[in-house]
A and B are shown apart, each in its own frame.
Chain A
């Protein structure tokens, strides 16, 4: 079946602009996660959604970052007033059961110039 999809695959933006990254999870997966991976680094947890419950935002690095999940499916990660340190690959994952095996999308490579 279809895996996790993300768009855009690449995004170049100027410092100070806002960006939106989209994630479409595997159908039927109730849990959705956003991570960030900088070059040569590990995965940094950002935010987690489980069904219609309030999201776990404990990993968001600043209030410039926000995310929503509409209808328990598609999610959008928004970064306001982007900074150069926001440059990274943003990965979305979904899982059928919370905090169990996660399946990753191809990622969005964000470059802030």
Chain B
């Protein structure tokens, strides 16, 4: 089982609708979760991060954590064509050797349809 998994998509959402992106993780002890947006040919850009103590809302973006089911979601309200990108989920994990690292999913490609 991969440490961080995302549906590769593409996920197509009409403009103005809510886009919902999910990411599952395997390490039950993970406490930090990050969402990045990556436009084609560009580097990842940090959108939001949350800790295990709660969800976060920032403008049109909301990050939610479901610890029991071990997944984290990113909701994008009032989707715009400019939101079309690949969204990467990253989870801070501690390896069997006690080393910390940020493990990235392979990303979900989101397309907003005008």
Interface residues of chain A, those whose CB is within 8 Å of chain B, are 33, 41-43, 45, 48, 56, 58, 89, 91, 98-107
A43 near B49: Cβ-Cβ < 8 Å: no
B46 and A43 contact, CB distance less than 8 A: no
A43 touches B44 (CB 8 A): yes
Q: Is B53 at the interface (CB under 8 A from chain A)?
A: no
Q: Least Cβ distance of B43 to chain A in Å?
A: 4
A99 in contact with B106 given A43-B44, A106-B42 (CB within 8 Å): no
Give the total of B residues in contact with A, Cβ under 8 Å.
Answer: 21
Q: Which of B20-54 contact A (CB under 8 A)?
A: 32, 34, 36, 42-46, 49
Q: Given that A48-B101, A107-B43 are contacting pairs, would A101 and B88 also be in contact in the complex, using a CB cutoff of 8 Å? A: no
A-B pair count, CB < 8 Å, reads 46
In the bound assembly, the distance between CA atoms of A79 and B84 in angstroms comes to 34
Instruction: Report, nearest first, the 4 A-B pairs whose CB atoms are least far apart.
Output: A42-B106, A104-B43, A43-B104, A99-B100
Chain A residues with Cβ below 8 Å from B1 are: none
How many Å from the CB of B58 to the closest CB on chain A? 13
* Least CB distance, B90 to chain A, in whole angstroms: 8
